[in-house]
Amino acid sequence: MSRDPLFDLSDKIAVVTGAGGVLCSEIAIALAARGAKVALLGRTEQKVQKVAETIRQNGGNATAYRCDVMDMGDLETISQQVSGELGACDILINGAGGNQADATTDTEVFEAEQQEGLRTFFDLSIPAFRATFDLNFIGTLQPIKVFARQMVTKSNSVVLNISSMAAFSPLTKVPAYSGAKAAVNNLTQWLAT
């Protein structure tokens, strides 16, 4: 298959977190179709293995790694494996993230006379709020700290952080998710300087 030189990623190593999810699995498939060797990182090994099989069936090069972006030791180990097996990272796509029910309100707007049993802002679980924020923000920060070490001396390397429109215009019901994605945008801008 001939590739348009503008979109040819041959000899590039792409690391994708959250690669077992809907969005990042498609991104990984597209990177591999352009010739990149793709390291698929995800907490659920079966999901990233399935994406790797799809890529290989289409003639691409992909390796699946079970990895928790919240665990620096896990990331350091996987970074060494990726570097040894595929090469040093050129493209890092941070797509791991999500939300928790206990960090989500049940209603779009607060009313003083709420129905009994509905979760409002005042009822949100702080541990769930923290876990949601950490997964989306710290789960983006830590892979950058680990993989960007391999990238800083390379030309044409790139870090792409998946955010959300919730960062710009907070979605109702998900303050932890919205706040974390706003923090991801700010971190991305900070790193660009």
Q: What is the pLDDT of residue 114?
A: 67
pLDDT band for 2, please (50, 70, 90 cuts): low
Q: What is the pLDDT of residue 101?
A: 94
Residue of 177, 180, 182, 184 marked catalytic = 177
Choose the weakest-confidence range: 3-7, 12-16, 38-42, 45-49.
Answer: 3-7
Considering only CA atoms, which of 48, 41, 164 is closest in space to residue 91? 41
Mean pLDDT over all residues of the chain?
Answer: 94
pLDDT band for 166, please (50, 70, 90 cuts): confident
State phi, psi for 122 to the nearest 5 degrees.
Answer: -70, -15
Rounded to two decimals, the pTM is 0.92
CA–CA gap between residue 16 and residue 158 (Å, rounded): 12
CA–CA gap between residue 179 and residue 77 (Å, rounded): 30
Q: Max CA-CA distance within the chain?
A: 64
CA–CA gap between residue 162 and residue 149 (Å, rounded): 20
Catalytic residue status for 177: yes
